[in-house]
Amino acid sequence: MGDMRKDYVSERFMIVSKKDDKVKDSKKSPFAPGNESMTNPSVLSLVAKDGMLQRLQDSDDEFVEGWSIRVFESKDPIVSVETENSYSDRPFYSEPAYGYHYIVVASPNQKDTFATIDTEQWSNILVVVQDRLRWLYTQKGVTYVSIYADQGELSGSTTPHPHLNILTFSTIPPIIEEEAEASHKILNEKGVCPMCQTVNEEISGPRQVLQTEGFIAFCPWSPSYPYEFWIAPKKHTTSFSKITQKEINDLSLILRATLGGLSQTIKNVSYNLVFHLSPEKKNSRQIHWHIEIYPITKSWSGLERGYGIFLNDISPEEAAEKLGAACRKELANLVGIV
C-alpha cells in the first residue's frame, strides 16, 4: 500500500495507491450474485427471509446466497491497516495511508442505480452504513470515517454496479477540517450554527429543491458544479450515527426522490455523492452533517483547477427550479400520489 503525501505549503493531501495489476474479467461484475469469490468474504450480508432481514456473513468455504446488501473489505484498498509505518517531514511530508476500506454493495442487481433503488432498500443501506460507521470509530487509529458513492462513467467509479465506499483516515480530511473550523468560528461570533442558518434561509427560498418532514434538499448559493445540491437535516444534529429509524426512512425518501429527479433532468448523468459528517472524536470541531451531490456535466477549466474559482453555465436558482419540478414528480410517484 502507498503513502499519504501533503502539498509543499497547503494542507492538501494525496494518496499514492498501488493497485492490483492482476487481469480481471471485464465481462463479470465482482459485485454481482454468483461472483462473490471475486471479492473478499463479506463481513455482513443482508438476506430477506420470511419477511425479516437476516444478518449473515461469508465463511471460509461458503458464500451467503440470496443477499440484498453485501459488505466486505476492498480488494484494492485506498488505505490499509497493513501499511508501512514511515513518516517524512516537509517539504516532502508523508505519512502512512493507514485505515480501513469497505465496500457496501447497494443492490444485487448490477443494472440498478442509486436513482432506481427503492426507498426500503435505501433505508437498509443507510442502516448498514450507520452500523459500520459506529464499529469503525471503535477501532484503533481511526480519526475520521468518510462515506461516498460514485455513479456513472465520469464519476471515477471502476464498476457501474451501485456501491458505496467507506474509508477511514488517521487524520481529518482537509475539507472537513476547514468546514468544521469555519463553522466553529461563526458559531462563536454569531451564536448560530451556519448550516442551521442556511437551512432556515433556503427552506422557502428560490434554491429549495425538495422537502420531507425532517430534511431539505437545496442547490447551494455558491456551487462548484452545475445542478449540485445538498441534503441536510432541518434540525441541528452533528451525528449521523445517532439518527433514528424514522429519520433514516425520511432520508431514504428524499435521497431516492432527488436522485431520481436528477436522472430525469440530466440523462445518463454521472455524479459523486459524499457524506459530510462530524468527526466522532470528542475533542474535534463538529459540523451539522449533510450530504452533497456533485453532478459531472462538464470538464473543469484552468480557472477552476488552478485557482478554485468555479464557472457554472446555470445558476443555482435555475437548477433548483428544474430539479425541483422533476423531484416533486418522483416524490409523488414514490408516495403513491397521482
Instruction: Please name the amino acid found at residue 108.
Output: P
3-state secondary structure of 55: strand
Residue 46: phi and psi, rounded to 5, are -85, 125
Angle formed at CA 233 by CA 229 and CA 236, multiple of 5 degrees: 130
* Spatial separation of the C-alpha atoms in residues 322 and 228, rounded to whole Å: 12
* Spatial separation of the C-alpha atoms in residues 3 and 216, rounded to whole Å: 38
Q: Where are the domains of the chain?
A: 3-334
User: 185: which 3 cell numbers?
Assistant: 468560528
Instruction: Please name the amino acid found at residue 135.
Output: W
- Best CA proximity match to 79, nearest among 16, 136, 147: 16
Say which DSSP state 41 is in: P
Q: Which residues are catalytic?
A: 163
pLDDT tens-digit series, residues 88-136: 888 888 888 889 999 999 999 999 999 999 999 999 999 999 999 999 9
* Spatial separation of the C-alpha atoms in residues 297 and 280, rounded to whole Å: 34
**Contact of 185 with 114, CB cutoff 8 Å:** no
3-state secondary structure of 144: strand
Residue with cell 426500503: 120
Instruction: Please name the amino acid found at residue 259.
Output: L
As averages over each run of 10 residues, the pLDDT of the chain (338 residues) reads: 83 78 65 94 91 88 93 92 81 87 96 94 96 95 95 87 95 92 92 95 96 97 96 96 96 97 95 94 83 94 90 95 96 79
pLDDT at 1: 56
* Spatial separation of the C-alpha atoms in residues 267 and 255, rounded to whole Å: 18
Burial grade of 131 (CB within 10 A; 0-12, 13-18, 19 or more): middle
Catalogue the E-assigned strands of 92-195: 94-96, 101-105, 144-151, 163-169
pLDDT at 22: 54
The four Cα atoms 29, 33, 34, 40 give a dihedral, to 10 degrees, of 70
pLDDT at 318: 97
pLDDT at 28: 81
* Spatial separation of the C-alpha atoms in residues 164 and 228, rounded to whole Å: 19
3-state secondary structure of 334: helix
Identify the CATH number of the domain defined by range 3-334. 3.30.428.10
* Spatial separation of the C-alpha atoms in residues 43 and 78, rounded to whole Å: 19
Angle formed at CA 217 by CA 215 and CA 222, multiple of 5 degrees: 135
* Spatial separation of the C-alpha atoms in residues 46 and 131, rounded to whole Å: 13
pLDDT at 243: 95
Cα of 66 vs its chain's centroid, Å: 26
pLDDT at 23: 46
pLDDT at 173: 92
